[in-house]
């Protein structure tokens, strides 16, 4: 079975932020996450799932976990 296509999460967040016309600081205010943390997310550095969820919620995005087709 081939590996699923990897998605650059930081690029997705950055693109959604820019689509809204927001700066990193504005997204930080709307999500309750600091601007430096927004920058870390966009640079694909390690952050918690809770932080990602706050940012996604502010951007109107959802997080979804999918089974790779393997038995769980």
Q: What is the pLDDT of residues 27-41, one digit of tens each?
A: 999 999 999 999 999
Q: Which of 16-25, 30-39, 60-69 has the lowest mean pLDDT?
A: 60-69
pLDDT over threshold 70, residue 64: yes
DSSP 8-53: -HHHHHHHHHHHHT--HHHHHHHHT--HHHHHHHHTT----HHHHH
Q: What is the mean pLDDT of the chain?
A: 88
pLDDT over threshold 80, residue 49: yes
pLDDT band per the 50, 70, 90 thresholds, residue 46 = confident
- For each of the domains in the chain, give its residue range(s) and CATH number, in order of start: 9-59 (1.10.260.40)
Structure-block tokens of residue 69: 């087709």
């Amino acid at each position: 079975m081939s590996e699923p296509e990897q998605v650059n999460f930081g690029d997705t967040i950055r693109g959604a932020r820019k689509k809204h016309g927001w700066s990193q600081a504005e997204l930080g205010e709307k999500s309750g996450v600091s601007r430096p943390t927004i920058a870390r997310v966009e640079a694909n550095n390690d952050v918690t799932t809770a932080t990602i969820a706050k940012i996604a919620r502010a951007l109107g995005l959802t997080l979804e976990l999918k089974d790779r087709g393997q038995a769980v």
